[in-house]
Amino acid sequence: MSLSAARPLDPWRWLGFPMLQCLGWTLLFGIPLRVFTLQLPEPVFCMVPAFAWAVIRPSIMAPFGVLLMGLFLD
């Protein structure tokens, strides 16, 4: 195990990948599918990265990404 400095924060891994994951899950759960006569839950996955970005690293929170996810959810 190396004792070198920590890796720099890659914006694609920190902002882009979670945003794409949440948009994909929102599309998947938005399909009108019934399992044992029950519907899937409401797709509110976009709230998770918005909260995490604000709490964990507010200095690089992506306001444009949060706006895009909110518009997509609406």
74 vs 3, residue with greater confidence: 74
- First-to-last alpha carbon distance for the chain, in angstroms, is 46
Flag whether 63 is in a domain: yes
Residue 11 banded pLDDT, cuts 50, 70, 90: low
Flag whether 74 is in a domain: yes
The string of pLDDT tens digits covering residues 28-72 is 888 887 878 887 777 777 778 878 777 776 666 677 777 888 888
Flag whether 52 is in a domain: yes
Flag whether 48 is in a domain: yes
What distance in Å separates the CA atoms of residue 14 and residue 53, rounded to the nearest whole number? 9
Flag whether 65 is in a domain: yes
* This prediction's pTM: 0.64
